[in-house]
Amino acid sequence: MNPLESRVLQIIRNARMLAPGDRAGVAVSGGADSVALLRLLDALRDQLGVTLLVAHFDHMLRGPDSEADARFVEGLARERGVECVIERADVAAAAAANKWNLEDAARRLRYAFFERLVSEGRANRIVVAHTADDQAETVLAHILRGTGIAGLAGIYPEVGPVMRPLLGERREDLRAYLRGLGQEWREDASNRDLSRQRARIREQLLPVIERDFSPEIVKHLAGLADLAREEESFWSALVEDRVNVLVKGISGRQSIQAQDLMAPLGIARATGREGASSLRSLSERMVRRIYHEMRGSFSGLTSTHVRNVLRLASESSSGRRVELPGGIVVEKSFEKLTFATEKMPGGSHETVAPPKAYQYVVRLSPEGAATVSVPELKRRFCLKGIDWSVLERDTKRGGVAALDAKLLREPLILRNWRPGDAYRPLGRKQSRKLKELFLAGRVPSRDRAGWPVLESDGRVAWARGLPPVDEFCAREGTQTAVVIEEEPF
């Protein structure tokens, strides 16, 4: 086995990016990095036990060259005996219509394509070809723009279903691998368009730093990103815990005691400069987290906005307020801060979508089968009874949960998530609210109101895409299991 193939195999196995039975959608643009990714996964698919799907997104930005890229990728997939899905979208038109910059529009539409492949069940993992060079360029771009720890974290190896097994590999090593295989690739001239900052970093800044200052700069920046991700993971876990404990309400209106915001760990502010700074950092992150929960993004929120909210909490009198972007207002009433959406100029509103309330009784056949259509979600849920002989560790794969049929009790109801829903995940000692699991699973706020939940005799037995419910989980000894799958109308 080639040394590069061995490294990539080890990375995928150690990080559990892919598992036997996975259907991996490989994002292939036609460039060297993505072509190398496809050839690597193709060489390793027997060892990994996965099925591959080539996913190509045509941005329609380069005319005949874009069309040639699509034909090249389609031919490459055919040569490797891999199914190929090609989608085209007018990125320039989308950017103009939504006032996005071109790169942002391309990224949004491309990842929306990947999300559809997953939601439609054509793939349960998406593998993209970001490299160590991409990581270094990203970190440098964030530094030049101005960033904090979150920006230094750069590109994450895994976000939801998206995996990046090549983040530790250099771009030139991938090209050498392709040359060794005699494999051609496509060159995108726009990658060297020096009017774009990313291209200037790639073509001008990084080579100068490597040559004149630090030959190991790419390795150092990748290491910095690793450390920053560790720091960010700690802060994120702490912020989620404090928000879950201290913040009350629903997405359109949330409140917290001013004292809790300023001293979220339950201790008075430290007198030392370092202690005070740490507590303030936690308070600032909590403000950002509440804002994100309400709006679905951090768009428009600046450090000045955050400082104004903290000043409102610590110094202002009752009745004062601070306006944030997106029509969100923070008002102080006695010792409580309330974040709420407000009518915006012109009569528009910045609010979350109204809850998609629904509730359907599920009647299982003697074989444990049932089909439930949910028009509110435009989805159909299929419950299927199967003989169960696998071990407990296999009770959840690829978003399909398995329940012990004997443990399900009537009334059995498929409904939308409700605030307060909770259960004990498999392998955990304590119950967790679904709201916490949504956050851990990065479920967008806009999707939560209609999130499907199966209730058995008043208790949560299953929730789409979330960890299995220990109380109802099929395991060794289960005779008949019920698996739940979904499909579009």
pLDDT at 338 over 60: yes
Tokens linked to 175: 């090209």
**Centroid of chain to Cα 120:** 17
Q: Is the pLDDT of residue 344 over 50?
A: no
- Residue 358: count of CB within 10 angstroms of its CB: 15
Q: Report which of residues 257 and 1 the model is more confident about.
A: 257
User: What is the number of other CB atoms lying within 10 angstroms of the CB of residue 379?
Assistant: 17
Say how far apart CA 438 and CA 462 lie, in whole Å: 14
pLDDT at 465 over 80: yes
Q: CA-to-CA distance for 81 and 62, rounded, in angstroms?
A: 28
The secondary structure of the chain, three-state, reads CCHHHHHHHHHHHHHCCCCCCCEEEEECCCCHHHHHHHHHHHHHHHHHCCEEEEEEEECCCCCHHHHHHHHHHHHHHHHHCCEEEEEECCHHHHHHHHCCCHHHHHHHHHHHHHHHHHHCCCCCEEECCCCHHHHHHHHHHHHHHCCCHHHHCCCCCEECCEECCCCCCCHHHHHHHHHHHCCCCCCCHHHHCCCCHHHHHHHHHHHHHHHHCCCCHHHHHHHHHHHHHHHHHHHHHHHHHHHHHHCEEECCEEEEEHHHHHCCCCCCCCCCHHHHHHHHHHHHHHHHHHHHHHHCCCCCCCHHHHHHHHHHHHCCCCCCEEEECCCEEEEEECCEEEEEECECHHHCECCCCCCCCCEEECCCCCCCCEEEEECCCCEEEEEEEEECCCCHHHCEECCEEEEEHHHCCCCEEEEECCCCCEECECCCCCCEEHHHHHHHCCCCHHHHCCCEEEEECCEEEEECCCCCEHHHECCCCCCEEEEEEEEEC
Q: Is the pLDDT of residue 210 over 50?
A: yes
Angstrom distance (rounded) from CA 104 to CA 227: 26
pLDDT score of 269: 53
**How do residues 78-89 score in pLDDT, each as one tens digit?**
999 999 999 999
Q: How far apart are CA 321 and CA 339, in angstroms?
A: 10
pLDDT above 70 for 350:
no
For position 391, what pLDDT does the model report? 43
Q: Kindly report the CA angle at 41 between 175 and 36, in degrees rounded to 5? A: 15
> Per-residue confidence at 316, pLDDT binned at 50, 70, 90?
confident
**Cα–Cα distance for residue pair 287/310, rounded to 1 Å:** 8
Residue 392: pLDDT above 70?
no
* Residue 361 or residue 318, greater confidence: 361
Residue 84 has φ and ψ, to the nearest 5°, of -130, 135
| Predicted confidence (pLDDT) per residue in 282-313, tens digit | 999 999 999 988 887 888 888 899 999 999 99
Cα dihedral sign, 235-239-240-242: positive
Distance CA 242, CA 254 (A): 14
Model confidence, pTM: 0.64
Checking if the pLDDT of 137 tops 80, the result is: yes
- Domain 249-347: give its CATH code: 3.30.465.60
Higher pLDDT, 256 or 443: 256
Average model confidence (pLDDT) across the chain: 87
- Longest Cα–Cα distance of the chain, Å, equals 74
Q: How many alpha carbons fall within 13 Å on the CB side of residue 408?
A: 28
Give CA separation, 374 vs 109, 358, 487, in Å: 27, 8, 11
Phi/psi at 296 (nearest 5 deg)? Answer: 90, 0
Domain boundaries, the chain: 3-225, 249-347, 359-488
For 130, what's the count of Cα atoms within 13 Å in the CB-facing half-sphere?
Answer: 18
Q: Which residues have C-beta within 8 Å of that of residue 235, sequence separation ≥ 6?
A: 149, 281, 282, 285
**Measured between alpha carbons, how far is 93 from 83 in angstroms, rounded to an integer?**
29
Confidence of residue 341 (pLDDT cuts 50, 70, 90): confident
What confidence score (pLDDT) does residue 195 get?
82
What pLDDT sits at residue 85?
95
Distance (Å, whole) CA 286 – CA 164: 29
Under the banding of pLDDT at 50, 70 and 90, the label for residue 241 is very high
pLDDT band at 387 (very low <50, low <70, confident <90, very high): confident
* Residue 345 clears pLDDT 50, i.e. is over it: no
Q: Tell me: domain 3-225, CATH 3.40.50.620, correct?
A: yes
